[in-house]
Amino acid sequence: MNLRPHHALCIQKFTGHGYDRAFTDHMTKLCETLRNQPETPVRIISGCDELCAFCPNRENGSCSTLEKVDSMDIAVRSAAGLSPGGTLPWRELAGLARTNIFETDQFEKICSDCQWFALCRSTPLN
């Protein structure tokens, strides 16, 4: 599965809210897959990924808020020590995000400009 780095955070905070029905249905299935199969290999990519595929903000193969999401991806990669193009099991990626971001002040630094931040901050990790 291809994921852009900041989606390692969003997946762990997902509670069924999203941009539209198609997006949330797809994300619900994706989160269930990763929860049930934590050894799923995840490749760290730049640009649109498995979650973006069903997002209404995806336009011509790119995110309409590209600058914002790119800067989050760079910050997550740096904080969690992820290599672009590298592959690791979901269990390991989720753990790196937890240890280096959710359990530190990086969570607020990276996510505070996101429209979902208030919800994510009050949501326990999945």
Residues 89 and 38: beta-carbon distance below 8 Å: yes
Q: Report the C-alpha gap between 102 and 85 in whole angstroms.
A: 23
Q: Which stretch binds ligand SF4 (CB under 6 A): 36-44, 80-88, 89-97, 116-124?
A: 116-124
Query: Between 38 and 77, how does the x/- string for binding to ligand SF4 read (CB under 6 A)?
Result: ----------x--xx--x-xx----x-x---x--x-----
Tell whether residue 10 is a contact of ligand SF4 (CB under 6 A). yes
Tell whether residue 111 is a contact of ligand SF4 (CB under 6 A). yes
Q: For 44, list phi and psi in degrees, rounded to 5.
A: -85, 115
Tell whether residue 116 is a contact of ligand SF4 (CB under 6 A). yes
Tell whether residue 34 is a contact of ligand SF4 (CB under 6 A). no
- Sign of the four-CA dihedral 121, 82, 62, 42: negative
The contact set with ligand SF4 (CB under 6 A) reads 6, 9-10, 13, 48, 51-52, 55, 57-58, 63, 65, 69, 72, 111, 114, 116-117, 120
